[in-house]
Structure 1
């Protein structure tokens, strides 16, 4: 078959009128036949008709949205604690998001949120822990406050370094980062 006839046959099989030309298609713009190793060369039988393509597309199932993990970073003062806890609660209540894991990491001035003797929000922290939120305190900050794990609200964990934990969660584990007031 000559290359012009081949081009016309390919266009016909693709459902394109024969009055159109495809640039860079079969034969690379010359009348020389395509080499046997050329994957773009047509075959005598199409491997897939347009009808088969449409059917295959219709039967494919949608990929579900991926689950997400989020880390909230709280370094604010006492006046911002309720707002920070509200942000975490709002994310948990959002039914449009498929959450895998939520972490609340406190360091700096935000550390007072998890100190059992200083926080006014121990009950809310316990509720968040019961809902599966992992609450973590920076051990460097604990040292600065002369606090131990016994001084924390029950269930609050510790990490050696708040900034190290944030780095690990974001870069290594793919967590979304939210700086909360």
Structure 2
């Protein structure tokens, strides 16, 4: 009985070790979901901190509703600082930004108002779901 128990424990330790090693090698993929631009400054800071801690993380920011506002031309935070410089800094660190076309159409915002660093997707909500289900992205809601 002791031999069986020892063999089981050895097998368990080996399996856990392999799982931990496999997890360490997995690509870190995260979708940040923003539907309210009042959290944009904090979210961008979170993303910067995330990348500082995990430089190889693949991060996509998906916006819809009022969350797209910080990705429009000339958008500024509550202190009057433009968002485009911070967005460009994060784009340079391979962060992707996506804007919901449904929101643009509903709010009658011309696509030309979206900053060039952002990509327009058909639906922000559908994009968040697709990234999670089909591509295995972890979900963060700042």
What TM bracket, shorter-length normalisation?
A: 0.7 to 0.9
Alignment root-mean-square deviation, CA: 2.6
- Larger CA Rg, structure 1 vs 2: 1
SS of equivalent to 1:177: strand
C-alpha distance after superposition, 1:15-49 (max 9, x if no partner): 96xxxxx8xxxxxxxxxxxxxxxxxxxxxxxxxxx
The one of 41, 50, 60 aligned to 1:103: 60
The one of 42, 47, 53 aligned to 1:83: 42
The one of 22, 26, 32 aligned to 1:66: 26
Q: Call closer, same or farther: CA 1:130–1:98 in 2, change over 3 Å.
A: closer
Matches within 5 A, 1:21-170: 62-63=21-22, 64-78=24-38, 80-95=39-54, 98-99=56-57, 101-119=58-76, 120-170=82-132
Q: Which runs of 5+ in 1 are unaligned?
A: 1-10, 17-21, 23-49
| TM-score, normalised with respect to structure 2 | 0.76
Matched residue count: 125
SS of equivalent to 1:111: helix
Runs of 4+ in structure 1 off by over 2 angstroms are 60-65, 117-120
Which has the larger share of helix?
Answer: 2
Question: In 1, distance between residues paired with 2:74 and 2:104?
Answer: 14
Higher relative contact order (CA 8 A, sep 6+): 2
| TM-score, normalised with respect to structure 1 | 0.61
Q: CA deviation at 1:151?
A: 0.7
